[in-house]
Structure 1
C-alpha cells in the first residue's frame, strides 16, 4: 500500500518537474549590441505586461514567459520592425491585456465611456440640487 501511495505521489509530481526545464531564450537576459535598438526595445518592454505575474512589466519580471517576450521584442527590433508593430503583434497573440497602453475598440469603449457618463450624471445632480437652493 505504501509503495502504491509513493508511486501515485511521484506521478502527481511529474508535471511540476517538467516545468522550467528549458533554458532561457538567448535575448531574454542579453542586450542588443546596438544601443539605439536596445533603447527602443527597453522602452517597449516597459509598456508590456508580464502575463505570468501580471503586476510587472516584462522588463522587470524574472518569469520565463517575460524572458520569452523580451527575446521576441529584441529579435524583432534587431530585424528592423517598429515597436508599434511588435506591440500589435503581441496584442494579437496574447490579447489587449498585455499592453499597459489601453486601446479603444468595440469591446473596450464602455470602459472609456462609463467614467465620463458618471461624471456627467454627478454634475447634473449637483447642478439641479444647487439650482433649486438659489
Structure 2
C-alpha cells in the first residue's frame, strides 16, 4: 500500500518537475539580430503582462512563461507580423488580462463607464449645491 502511494506521488510530481527542467525557448533571452525589429519587439513586450508574476511585464519577468512569450513575440516580429497582430493573438490566447493597454469590450465597458458616471453625478451635485447658495 505504501509503495502504491509513493508511485502515485511520483507520477503526479513528474510533470511538474519536467516543466522546470526544460531549457528556455531560443529567443527568450537572446535578442533579434536586426536592431529595428528588436526595438519593436521590446516595445511590445513592455506592454504585455506576465501571467505568472502579474505585476511585471514579460520584458522584466524571469518566469519561464514570460520567456516563452518573449520568444513568441520575437519570432513573430522577425517573421514580419505587426505588433498589433501579435498583441491580438496573445490576447486571444491568454485573455485581455495579458495586455496593459485595456480594450473596450462587452465585458470591460463598465470599467470605463462607471467612473465617468460617478464624475457626472458628483458634478451635478456640486452644481445644484452651489446654485442654491447663489
Report the TM-score, using the length of structure 2 for normalisation.
0.90
Alpha-carbon RMSD across the aligned residues, in angstroms, is 1.9
In 1, the alpha carbon distance for the partners of 2:13 and 2:32 equals: 38
1:58 aligns with 2:58: yes
Give CA deviations for 1:99-121 in whole Å, capped at 9, x if unaligned. 00111111111111110000000
Q: Which runs of 5+ in 1 are unaligned?
A: none
Matches within 5 A, 1:26-105: 26-105=26-105
In 2, the alpha carbon distance for the partners of 1:10 and 1:96 equals: 36
CA shift for structure 1 position 10: 5.5
Count of equivalent residues: 133
In 1, the alpha carbon distance for the partners of 2:101 and 2:82 equals: 16
Q: Which runs of 5+ in 2 are unaligned?
A: none
User: 1:7 aligns to what?
Assistant: 6
In 2, the alpha carbon distance for the partners of 1:84 and 1:16 equals: 33
Report the TM-score, using the length of structure 1 for normalisation.
0.90
SS in 2 for 1:19: helix
Structure 1 residue ranges, 4+ long, deviating more than 6 angstroms after superposition: none
Higher deviation after alignment, 15-24 or 30-39: 15-24
